[in-house]
Structure 1
Amino acid sequence: MTAATAFVFPGQGSQFPGMGHELARLGPRARALALRAEDITKVPVAELMTCADAETLADPEIAQVLVLVWSLAALERLREAGWRPSAVAGHSLGEYTALVACGSLDQDTALSLVACRGRAMAAAARGRPGGMAAIVGLSAQAVRALCRQATAGTDVAVVANWNSPRQLVVAGTVPAIERVVDAATGAGALRARRLPVGGAYHSPLMNAAHERLGDRLAGVPLDAPRIPFVSSATGRQVTDIDAYRGDLLAQVISPVRWSDAMRSLGELGADTYVEAGPGRVLGGLGREMARGARHLTTWEALRRAAPADALPGPDGGVRPVVTDLEQRTTT
């Protein structure tokens, strides 16, 4: 495969106050999708997207539905503009949008599942409080060693996100995460910082969410992908959709393997990556791992709208890499 476009969908952490104003720019179908999402999820999507502050949006019950709605609307608008992805992948929560994009899941079911996922993860976070931190500039081996050293008794720390070769995110109990941050700083990390999230996602502290989601996912029909779909739960292309169901469930307690997923997309021939969702978190990470590729936000792709057989040319206009840690971190 050559000259292939991959759609990548962001996860929780890409939400921001006022994101509803940008959603409105995606057109009337986006507004209709938001209203349908309210009926299905019982979350006041339009109001929260417009009026909620950052603290409110950090609640996984809210954030996950809002990011999904925005990403689904972006997917529809990009299709209307003529974009046709050759492969798709999503970071954690973004995997549900990717399932819609490849034809494995319908929109309404995705909205229902993500609402359940958000509630389950919020409840798990209340039951077993924890936190997360991003570590930049240490090797994966070094960060894993720090997590082992910080784990003792009831305290636990694990690698939760393999975001890029330079950036890993750790999750666990707050005392353990603080020990990892302190140790990483002492070990020469470029940055080691707690993230403003409400729980220890992709860690054993989410076991209650894993149990709660099991029955819900068991009865959901999943169709075989119509285009290559790479899972961030495994980092590999999904070829057996029935076996993948277990990976999708395990996603809430297992690490996000985004760097592996990007490698798999590259092996499929992707040389243009469109971040179909709010923000540009994945674009910053992608530029680290696929430097020769083109990385576009939703808005940049819409300004360069083209069908798959007439991809946009290398005429620049892509925003520079974002250096702020929070803007480049997704959980």
Structure 2
Amino acid sequence: MLRLAFVFPGQGAQFVGMGKDLAEEFNEVRKVYDLADEVMGFPLSKICFEGPPEVLNKTEITQPAVLTTSIAIYELLRDHGINPVMAAGLSLGEYSALVSSGVLRFEDALRIVSRRGRIMQEAVPEGKGMMAAVLGLDNATIERTCQEAACKGIVNIANYNCPGQIVISGEREAVLEAIKLLKDKGAKAVPLAVSVPSHSRLMEGAAAALRKELNGINWSSPAFPVISNTEAREIQPSDLPEILVKQIYSPIKWEQSVILMADKIDFFLEVGPGKVLSGLIKKTARSKPVGNVGDTASFKRTLAQLKEAEQ
């Protein structure tokens, strides 16, 4: 029996049309979207399927939309007897992982991530924050460079994505200074088109507001382990909700989480829109097979891929 790790994408994976063909073909997928529409009180499914993109890309819409698409696909896999032995998610994707393991009710997760998106958007005035991708330098050099650029304000590593790919986040002037210094050291540094400086100390105020939302949640025991992407270790019931509060202002250790999971599983399966995580995993755990399910074609391809891998 293949030991599968399900990994769930975060914000940025969304696109107009996500989940549409699956919802048209599979009733179990449609049911998840219908429930999301009911909980949210507006046709979230229509925004996922038809857009417009300027609405889908609003943070408070994006987050429940990505969560819903991921859980709809998870339910499809589960109904076809495809189950993980562990799960993880990138930033927002950690909520999908917790829902999949039974720790968090889908309905509660929808409300939380919608509020989370609004809290994050309101935490920092537009134009004050900035994020940038950094390619081609080792982690230690980037960490030191952020410290050098701190004379201009707050800047820190936000994401350890995979070997040679880091994201930095913080105040605009400090991030721009870090970009300049990193380029001088031979890195490629590219500003990202995002409105929120996620996973930086600028989000500490947002974390306090999120804590209030999370304190009223009833957490259940997991059906399988979920790996924390800020700690790169298995989440324990006693960690909740604080580990999700910490996530909003702390670096995401995705590379380290993948390395941890790779020792315990046979196959990574990205569950949700896009293929970003698949690409990162291939650069981190090169010996492990990776698949993804984001639409009908990839679902059928994955069924064949898993059947072949089991033989």
**TM-score higher than 0.5 here?**
yes
Q: Report deviation, 1:109.
A: 1.2
Query: Could you tell me which of 183, 186, 189 is aligned with 1:185?
Result: 183
Taking a change above 3 Å as real, the CA distance of residues 24 and 173 of structure 1, as seen in their structure-2 partners, is same
Structure 1 position 304, deviation (Å): 3.7
Aligned equivalent of 1:230, options 227, 231, 234: 227
1:114 shift after superposition: 1.0
Output one character per residue of 1:49-93: Cα deviation in whole Å (capped at 9) or x when no partner: 233354543321121111001101110111122211111111110
Write the distance in 2 (CA, Å) between the matches of 1:101 and 1:229.
Answer: 9
1:128, CA displacement in angstroms? 7.8
Alignment of 1:116-265 (within 5 A): 116-126=115-125, 129-152=128-151, 155-189=153-187, 191-238=188-235, 240-265=236-261
Rounded to whole Å, the distance in 2 between the matches of 1:160 and 1:286 is 18
Distance 2:245 2:41 in 1: 23
* Alignment map for 1:1-331 (pairs within 5 Å): 3-25=2-24, 27-42=26-41, 44-126=43-125, 129-152=128-151, 155-189=153-187, 191-238=188-235, 240-268=236-264, 270-298=265-293, 299=295, 300-305=298-303, 311-314=306-309
Count of equivalent residues: 307
Task: Give structure 2 stretches of 5+ with no counterpart.
Answer: none
Q: Shift of residue 211 of structure 1? A: 1.2
Distance 1:27 1:129, change over 3 A: farther
Change (3 A) 1:129 1:42: farther
Q: What is the one-letter code of the residue matched to 2:178?
A: V
Q: CA 1:55 to 1:196, structure 2 compared with 1: closer, same or farther past 3 Å?
A: farther
- Partner Cα distance (1:121, 1:222) in 2: 23
Is this contact kept in 1: 2:18–2:48, CA < 8 A? Answer: yes
Calculate the aligned-residue CA RMSD, in Å.
2.2
Q: Which amino acid aligns with 1:88?
A: A
* 1:256 counterpart letter in structure 2: I
Moved more, 13-22 or 210-219: 13-22
Question: Aligned equivalents of 1:71 and 1:231: distance in 2?
Answer: 18
- Check conservation: 1:136, 1:166, Cα contact below 8 A: yes
Residues 147 and 180 in structure 1, CA contact (< 8 A), matched pair in contact too: yes
Between the aligned partners of 2:125 and 2:21, the Cα distance in structure 1 is: 31
Letter in 2 for 1:131: M
The residue identity in structure 2 corresponding to 1:161 is N
In structure 2, what is the equivalent of residue 320 of structure 1?
A: none
- Whether the 8 Å contact between 1:99 and 1:105 is mirrored in structure 2 is yes
**Identity %, equivalent residues:** 34
Unmatched runs of 5 consecutive residues or more in structure 1: 316-331
Counterpart AA for 1:241? P
Q: Which amino acid aligns with 2:166?
A: L
Deviation at 1:252, TM superposition (A): 0.4
Aligned partners of 2:158 and 2:240: how far apart in 1?
19
How far the C-alpha of 1:34 sits from its partner, in A, is 2.1
